[in-house]
Chains A and B, each alone.
Chain A
Amino acid sequence: NAGVTQTPKFQVLKTGQSMTLQCAQDMNHEYMSWYRQDPGMGLRLIHYSVGAGITDQGEVPNGYNVSRSTTEDFPLRLLSAAPSQTSVYFCASSYTRALTGNGAFFGQGTRLTVV
């Protein structure tokens, strides 16, 4: 089925470890983004990309890196995990850069716990 696929669904890391959260979409969307969702905080934008080779920071980028080598994939890297990065992470994509079309499509989320 077409959509946004995130892997893994669950992950436990030790403080200081690094890992990559994968995100892939098969809708040929230009725009992709990563959010984190914490209780009572809604969703906060980490990084986003308006096309292959182009990335930019969102509201809470510290501790995270992204790259966009292809239209389909937008991985999120945690460089050195900290307990404050315990959260649910969502990847989203959209057909247009201006987000004026049919809104964004979201993956099912990755629940990350850092101990």
Chain B
Amino acid sequence: SQQGEEDPQALSIQEGENATMNCSYKTSINNLQWYRQNSGRGLVHLILIRSNEREKHSGRLRVTLDTSKKSSSLLITASRAADTASYFCATVPAIQGAQKLVFGQGTRLTINP
């Protein structure tokens, strides 16, 4: 079964607005990662946050992690049309020998010009 659940499944906003996507997961994790997928393309790694970190920034991206609630959020500020894509969270479970990324179902983000 999927480790991560993402919310919302689809999000449509105006260019320049901020976009927030949420991810919940079930088991303890080593780290959590966010990926972007443009239509018909492979996934591109955006940012990684470790289990002992609470917040991380990269350009217009801000990721938070709340391990007590087993949840994370991805904030994209000042959105652009080029940000239109699907966004996935993925976790690396903190289980001995677990060497895999477990993905959520993704959020489809549309930025309207």
Give the complex CA separation of A109 and B37 in angstroms: 11
Within 8 A of A (CB), among B1-43: 2, 4, 30-31, 33, 35, 40-43
CB neighbours (8 Å) of A102 from chain B are: 45, 48
Q: How far is the CA of A104 from the CA of B45 in the complex (A)?
A: 7
Would B99 and A103 count as touching, CB distance under 8 A? Answer: no
- Residues A41 and B45 in contact, CB atoms below 8 Å apart: no
Q: Is the interface of B mostly helix, strand, loop or mixed?
A: strand
Binding site for A on B (CB under 8 A): 2, 4, 30-31, 33, 35, 40-45, 48, 50, 88, 90, 92, 99-106
Interface residues of A (CB under 8 A from B): 4, 31, 33, 35, 40-45, 48, 50, 56, 58-59, 90, 92, 97-109
Known: A48-B99, A108-B41; 9 extra A-B contacts, CB below 8 A, are A35-B103, A41-B105, A43-B103, A44-B103, A59-B102, A99-B31, A106-B43, A106-B44, A107-B42
